[in-house]
């Protein structure tokens, strides 16, 4: 750049340590102006004052210029403004908390109970019903029983080991079948200090691990054929491995000294593998059980359970199961024909997917409980919304003032949402704390009744669900009571509120008959009623609440003086904007006297008669409603005289 004649370049102040360049630039401007004024004869102090005045707000301009020069000025400003407003909203919401600690405490506790209950039960449901079992392709893993349909007691039998061998040899639809028993007592394993400890053990046949299919954490599992290998081997659970061997990674090959001899450790199973019982910690071959104690080689000793893996033939596991059941029944009939003295009655098998076998009994009850707590959460929402609504009457004026001071609709909505969010977060955190306490308590009392209860944890997923539920709840309960206002025209709100306060009448709300509010009310009424009938509290309370809602939807702003039996009211002259209140009423519902005049609301005579047809709604409203409306003025949804009224 070529500077004008007589000027020369210099180092920028940013580089020579002269502070902000913008400041120096502006200082130069003012000094130049002072020089000029002084040269024209103005005293220096006066010149400085005038220069500053002409320049305007110097600090502000420096800030604005720096922002412009940094770039992205508008976006930055918008984000900054948004964040500032959000911060103010949060502070405002906190002030609401401080101003109404009791109300907020009630709301937070209500939400916390709802969220805590739902979270606790959901975490159980998630652990028991939703979390995957540790068996790959679990649809094809089944519990299997030989069945004697002609038997008097339903027919489900247990297995003997020779039976299992026969079925495995003759059937083609079984990829693997393994028998097991966990009822032979534990294995007594002395601790390192020499104290004997009885450890829950399962005695299994070869094929047990093949049927379940779980990959070991370390080493291998028991081989399929016990006869072909050394039977004195053992597989450890992860818990036992950590407890007894300190999680030694070289545990495979070491020896476990048990009371009845030593076992070579061949593998460690991963977390979550607990079959057949939640506390089973060791698995070894049935071959290690003495014939003297359990003569398991006899075909008549039917004391074993079995799991099987169905060979995949089609993509649909159900089809495979049905085919397998038919084929296995034929095998059963074949064996029965060959061994009439021991197997005559056993003519079919029963298969049950492992998930159903494990959790089938508790599935329905758990889901019912979940539905119940979810309903409780809905009631909690409804109650919180009611609490906020009860306070809402007092806050309309605040909103109207904010609106008339220039707060836009979005801004008001955001304030309400921020309050809801704060409520949701507080309630959610309290609910989560409740859940972390409640779940262990629940499991310690009912853990024995719930299968897979060891899989139940309050994990991040569950807590996230809880937080989402509570924040949603908070926003909804905070927002719903005001959806009528927010959707309203703010101008009307402001004018009407100003009118109301001029009249000294702020007794009732803008709980208009908008669909939002109406649907909320009726929804809540339904919810409360449903919940009341299903969960205890009396319906009467809730129907009273419905009546009180009716009071709020009283539709006009006017003060009735007298009510005659014929349904006419004389109105005090102070009522604002009478014509507007008739706007929404369908023509057919107008009383006959009105209709015969043949004129609309705007055509009413200038010297209005004191006697005027009343809206049927006032005279036919419910007892509660007319009592509350008759005795005082009601500010309802009167339309203020905006041009659109006529």
Partner 1 sequence: MELLQGTLDVMILKALEWGPLHGYAVSRWIKSTTRDVLTVEEGALYPALHRLRRKGLVESEWGVSENNRRAKFYALTPKGREALTQEADSWDAYARAVDRVLKAESPGGANG
Does the protein bind partner 1 through residue 40 (CB under 8 A)?
A: no
CA angle 44, 46, 52 (to 5 degrees): 100
Distance in Å, CB of 83 to partner 1, minimum? 22
Does the protein bind partner 1 through residue 78 (CB under 8 A)?
A: no
* Local structure of residue 434 (DSSP, 8 states): H
Does the protein bind partner 1 through residue 489 (CB under 8 A)?
A: no
Closest Cα to residue 302, out of 360, 337, 345, 333? 345
Nearest to partner 1 of 28, 523 (CB atom): 28
Question: Would you list the DSSP string of 215-256?
Answer: PPSEE----S-STTS-S-EEEE-HHHHHHHHTT-TT-TT-EE
Does the protein bind partner 1 through residue 11 (CB under 8 A)?
A: yes
Distance in Å, CB of 81 to partner 1, minimum? 17
Does the protein bind partner 1 through residue 76 (CB under 8 A)?
A: no
Does the protein bind partner 1 through residue 65 (CB under 8 A)?
A: yes
Nearest to partner 1 of 80, 255 (CB atom): 80
Does the protein bind partner 1 through residue 9 (CB under 8 A)?
A: yes
Does the protein bind partner 1 through residue 44 (CB under 8 A)?
A: no
Does the protein bind partner 1 through residue 10 (CB under 8 A)?
A: yes
3-state class of 122 per DSSP? Answer: helix
Does the protein bind partner 1 through residue 232 (CB under 8 A)?
A: no
Type and span of the H or E element at 199: strand 196-199
- Determine the Cα–Cα distance for residues 25 and 29; give it in Å rounded to an integer: 6
Nearest to partner 1 of 25, 151 (CB atom): 25
Among 19, 46, 55, 185, binds partner 1 (CB under 8 A): 55
Give the interface size with partner 1 as a residue count (CB under 8 A): 39
CA 23, 25, 26, 30 dihedral sign is positive
Among 48, 49, 64, 489, binds partner 1 (CB under 8 A): 64
Does the protein bind partner 1 through residue 28 (CB under 8 A)?
A: yes
Nearest to partner 1 of 59, 405 (CB atom): 59
Q: Which of residues 258-277 bind partner 1 (CB under 8 A)?
A: none
CA angle 508, 512, 513 (to 5 degrees): 140
Measure Cα distances from 469 to 114, 126, 144, 369, 427 in Å.
Answer: 10, 16, 41, 17, 10
Distance in Å, CB of 31 to partner 1, minimum? 7
Measure Cα distances from 558 to 384, 509, 565, 581, 623 in Å.
Answer: 31, 14, 19, 10, 19
Identify which range of 58-66, 87-95, 314-322, 567-575 contacts partner 1 by CB under 8 A: 58-66
Among 68, 85, 139, 248, binds partner 1 (CB under 8 A): 68
Among 35, 44, 225, 257, binds partner 1 (CB under 8 A): 35
Question: Do residues 223 and 283 touch, judged by C-beta distance below 8 A?
Answer: no
Does the protein bind partner 1 through residue 69 (CB under 8 A)?
A: yes
Distance in Å, CB of 389 to partner 1, minimum? 45
Question: Do residues 421 and 475 touch, judged by C-beta distance below 8 A?
Answer: yes
Omega prior to 276 cis, within 30 of 0: yes
Distance in Å, CB of 117 to partner 1, minimum? 57
Among 17, 40, 45, 71, binds partner 1 (CB under 8 A): 71
Nearest to partner 1 of 71, 246 (CB atom): 71
Nearest to partner 1 of 68, 327 (CB atom): 68
Nearest to partner 1 of 26, 94 (CB atom): 26
Does the protein bind partner 1 through residue 61 (CB under 8 A)?
A: yes
Nearest to partner 1 of 73, 155 (CB atom): 73
Rg of the chain, C-alpha, whole Å? 41
Does the protein bind partner 1 through residue 42 (CB under 8 A)?
A: no
Nearest to partner 1 of 71, 410 (CB atom): 71
Q: Which long-range contacts (CB under 8 A, 24 or more apart) does 521-527 make?
A: 521/546, 521/549, 524/382, 524/385, 524/386, 525/549, 527/375, 527/378, 527/379, 527/382
Identify which range of 22-30, 371-379, 474-482, 513-521 contacts partner 1 by CB under 8 A: 22-30
Give the full edge-to-edge strand order of the sheet including 611-613. Answer: 560-563, 568-571, 611-613
- Determine the Cα–Cα distance for residues 544 and 440; give it in Å rounded to an integer: 39
Measure Cα distances from 55 to 43, 44, 52 in Å.
Answer: 18, 16, 5
């910690």: which residue's tokens? 281
Site string for partner 1, 162-201 (x = CB under 8 A): ----------------------------------------
Question: Do residues 428 and 470 touch, judged by C-beta distance below 8 A?
Answer: yes
Identify which range of 23-31, 197-205, 463-471, 540-548 contacts partner 1 by CB under 8 A: 23-31
């220096």: which residue's tokens? 44
Nearest to partner 1 of 38, 106 (CB atom): 38
Question: Do residues 251 and 265 touch, judged by C-beta distance below 8 A?
Answer: yes
Nearest to partner 1 of 56, 643 (CB atom): 56
Does the protein bind partner 1 through residue 54 (CB under 8 A)?
A: yes
Question: Do residues 30 and 51 touch, judged by C-beta distance below 8 A?
Answer: yes
Distance in Å, CB of 79 to partner 1, minimum? 17
- Determine the Cα–Cα distance for residues 423 and 471; give it in Å rounded to an integer: 8
Among 20, 50, 73, 436, binds partner 1 (CB under 8 A): 73
Please report, as ranges, the residues that interact with partner 1 according to CB under 8 A. Answer: 1-4, 6-13, 18, 21-22, 24-26, 28-29, 31-33, 35, 54-58, 60-61, 64-69, 71, 73
């Amino acid at each position: 750049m070529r500077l004008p004649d007589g000027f020369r370049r210099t180092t920028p102040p940013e580089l020579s340590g002269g502070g902000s360049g913008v400041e120096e630039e502006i200082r130069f401007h003012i000094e130049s102006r002072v020089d000029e004024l002084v040269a024209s004869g103005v005293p220096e102090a006066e010149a400085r004052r005038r220069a500053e005045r002409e320049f305007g707000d110097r600090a502000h301009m420096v800030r604005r210029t720096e922002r412009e020069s940094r770039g992205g000025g508008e976006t930055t400003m918008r984000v900054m403004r948004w964040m500032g407003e959000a911060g103010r909203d949060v502070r405002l919401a906190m002030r609401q908390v401080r101003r109404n600690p009791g109300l907020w405490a009630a709301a937070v506790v209500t939400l916390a109970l709802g969220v805590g209950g739902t979270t606790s039960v959901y975490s159980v449901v998630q652990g028991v019903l939703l979390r995957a079992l540790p068996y790959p392709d679990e649809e094809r893993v089944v519990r299997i029983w030989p069945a004697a349909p002609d038997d008097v007691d339903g027919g489900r039998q247990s297995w003997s080991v020779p039976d299992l061998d026969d079925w495995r040899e003759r059937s083609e639809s079984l990829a693997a079948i393994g028998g097991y028993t966990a009822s032979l007592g534990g294995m007594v394993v002395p601790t390192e200090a020499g104290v004997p400890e009885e450890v829950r053990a399962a005695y299994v046949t070869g094929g047990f691990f093949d049927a379940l299919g779980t990959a070991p954490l370390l080493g291998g599992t028991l081989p399929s054929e016990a006869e072909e290998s050394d039977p004195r081997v053992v597989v450890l659970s992860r818990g036992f491995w950590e407890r007894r061997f300190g999680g030694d990674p070289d545990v495979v090959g070491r020896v476990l000294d048990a009371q009845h001899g030593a076992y070579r450790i061949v593998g460690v199973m991963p977390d979550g593998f607990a079959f057949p019982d939640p506390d089973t910690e060791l698995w070894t071959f049935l071959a290690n059980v003495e014939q003297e104690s359990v003569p398991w080689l006899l075909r008549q000793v039917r004391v074993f359970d079995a799991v099987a893996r169905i060979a995949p033939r089609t993509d649909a596991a159900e089809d495979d199961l049905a085919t397998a059941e038919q084929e296995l029944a034929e095998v059963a009939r074949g064996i029965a024909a060959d061994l009439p003295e021991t197997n005559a009655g056993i003519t079919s098998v029963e298969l049950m997917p492992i998930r159903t076998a494990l959790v089938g009994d508790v599935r329905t009850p758990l889901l019912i409980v979940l539905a119940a707590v979810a309903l409780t959460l809905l009631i909690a929402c409804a109650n919180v919304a009611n609490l906020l609504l009860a306070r809402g009457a007092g806050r309309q004026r605040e909103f109207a003032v904010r609106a008339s001071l220039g707060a836009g609709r979005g801004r008001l909505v955001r304030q309400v949402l921020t309050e809801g969010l704060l409520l949701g977060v507080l309630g959610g955190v309290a609910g989560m704390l409740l859940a972390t306490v409640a779940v262990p308590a629940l499991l310690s009392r009912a853990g024995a009744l719930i299968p897979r209860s060891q899989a139940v944890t309050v994990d991040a997923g569950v807590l996230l669900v809880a937080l989402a539920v509570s924040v949603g709840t908070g926003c909804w309960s905070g927002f719903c009571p005001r959806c009528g206002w927010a959707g309203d025209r703010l101008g009307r709100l402001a004018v009407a509120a100003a009118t109301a306060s001029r009249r000294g009448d702020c007794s009732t709300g803008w709980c208009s008959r908008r669909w939002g509010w109406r649907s909320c009310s009726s929804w809540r009424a339904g919810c409360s009623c449903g919940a009341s009938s299903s969960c205890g509290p009396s319906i009467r309370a809730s129907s009273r609440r419905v009546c009180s809602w009716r009071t709020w939807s009283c539709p006009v702003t006017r003060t009735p003086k007298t009510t005659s039996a014929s349904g006419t009211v004389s109105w005090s002259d102070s009522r604002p904007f009478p014509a507007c209140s008739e706007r929404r009423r369908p023509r057919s519902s107008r009383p006959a006297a009105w209709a015969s005049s043949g004129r609309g609301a705007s055509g009413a005579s200038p010297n209005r008669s004191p006697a005027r047809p009343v809206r049927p709604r006032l005279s036919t409203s419910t007892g509660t409603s007319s009592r509350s409306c008759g005795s005082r003025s009601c500010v309802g949804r009167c339309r203020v005289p905006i041009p659109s009224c006529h």
